[in-house]
């Protein structure tokens, strides 16, 4: 079954002006014998640097104060090492920076823009003023113009509903992609020898509270790797994934013999069952948000799964000896989050 590279759908959509997508680049490098994590980082860097993807890297949707803050993490199965960064605002290549934390420190996670920037500067990374693209800055300014008057609404639930309505209006107008409001890229790979690695990188939840860190850079949540078992990663509502430590759970399910598809669906059921706050439930008493999981075992068997199938559950990216393509995600629930 191996080797193979899998990723969220944006792993086979963006090329940053080149000829190859993330999964194509990563698989080509694995096939020629490159280190598995080096290959994956090279792949996701393409998406990070492409301003057309407004959920990752340069041009990512900013926080509520208009600052693009990036989170990233990586795990190297053969070396049993990991690295991550959070709330970084001045380095374009967040995944490479997470890899540098893994390579050059005995730590797993560096946080805080000043400290992350100082580390990056000391290790030769280019420091930029900010990570906006013209489109991301224009979108934030329009969001802020429309939402600032709503801050005066006294009732918190009413205020948040009004702000959400603005976001939906921006999506209908084509100013923002609803799928990118909590967008991310996760990419995992298995070599011909069965070595496994994974990387996740994101600009986080759109217009988040400054300093918010989601699941992406947290081991066991945004991604998890065990070289003897496989890898898993996630996109979607990070807080739900953090609570359930879903990527760790998926790998443990695969350790017990579950196929990646069944392990990912079990994690979605766990998220569903752990969602009890009325703020996060729809009229059916089910989660009013989306989560997607991507899993691959050490044999090269893989799957992707999504919480809902509305409009089709969506796709995830795959590249193996048959080439790069999008495959369908397996849905857990019928309908849409807002039903």
107-146 pLDDT, tens digit per residue, is 999 999 999 999 999 999 999 999 999 989 999 999 999 9
Over residues 238-248, the pLDDT tens digits come to 999 999 999 99
CB 84 within 8 A of CB 72: yes
Over residues 136-195, the pLDDT tens digits come to 999 999 999 999 999 899 988 888 888 888 888 888 888 877 666 667 999 999 999 999
Angle formed by the axes of helices 94-104 and 113-122, nearest 10°: 70
pLDDT at 258 over 80: yes
Bond into 10 cis (ω within 30): no
Over residues 42-65, the pLDDT tens digits come to 999 999 999 989 889 999 989 999
Mean pLDDT on 25-40: 97
CATH T-level fold of 4-58+76-82+180-207+214-333: 3.60.20
- The Cβ of residue 331 has, within 10 Å, a number of other Cβ atoms equal to 19
CB 300 within 8 A of CB 190: yes
> In this predicted structure, which of 66-75, 203-212, 271-280 has the lowest mean pLDDT?
203-212
Catalytic residue among 117, 147, 167, 184: 184
- What is the token pair recorded at 104? 């050059």
Buried b (16+ CB within 10 A) or exposed e, 169-184: ebeeeeebeebbbbbb
CB 125 within 8 A of CB 117: no
CA distance 141 to 129: 18
Q: Is 184 a catalytic residue?
A: yes
């Amino acid at each position: 079954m191996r080797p193979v590279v899998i990723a969220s759908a944006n792993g086979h959509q963006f090329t940053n002006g080149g000829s190859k997508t993330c999964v194509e680049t990563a698989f080509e490098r694995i096939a020629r014998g490159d280190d598995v994590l080096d290959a994956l980082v090279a792949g996701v860097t393409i998406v990070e640097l492409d301003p057309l993807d407004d959920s990752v890297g340069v041009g990512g949707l900013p926080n509520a104060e208009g600052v693009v803050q990036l989170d990233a993490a990586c795990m190297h199965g053969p070396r049993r090492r990991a690295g991550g960064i959070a709330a970084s605002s001045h380095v374009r290549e967040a995944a490479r920076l997470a890899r540098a934390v893994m390579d050059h420190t005995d730590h797993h996670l560096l946080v805080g823009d000043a400290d992350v920037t100082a580390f990056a500067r000391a290790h030769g990374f280019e420091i930029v003023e900010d990570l906006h693209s013209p489109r991301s800055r224009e979108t934030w300014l329009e969001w802020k113009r429309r939402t600032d008057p709503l801050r005066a609404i006294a009732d918190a639930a009413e205020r948040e509903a009004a702000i959400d309505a603005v976001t939906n209006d921006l999506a209908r107008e084509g100013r923002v992609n609803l799928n990118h409001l909590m967008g991310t890229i996760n990419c995992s790979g298995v070599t011909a020898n069965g070595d496994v690695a994974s990387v996740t990188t994101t600009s986080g939840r759109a217009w988040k509270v400054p300093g918010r860190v989601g699941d992406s850079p947290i081991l066991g949540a945004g991604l998890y790797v065990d070289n003897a078992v496989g890898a898993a990663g996630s996109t979607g509502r990070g807080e739900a994934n953090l609570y359930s430590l879903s990527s760790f759970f998926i790998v443990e399910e695969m350790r017990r013999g579950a196929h990646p598809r069944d392990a990912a669906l079990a994690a979605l059921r766990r998220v569903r069952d752990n969602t009890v706050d009325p703020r996060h439930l729809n009229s059916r008493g089910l989660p009013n948000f989306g989560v997607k999981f991507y899993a691959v075992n050490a044999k090269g068997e893989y799957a992707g799964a999504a919480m809902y199938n509305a409009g089709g559950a969506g796709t995830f990216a795959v590249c193996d000896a048959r080439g790069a393509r999008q495959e369908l995600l397996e849905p857990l629930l019928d309908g849409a989050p807002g039903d």
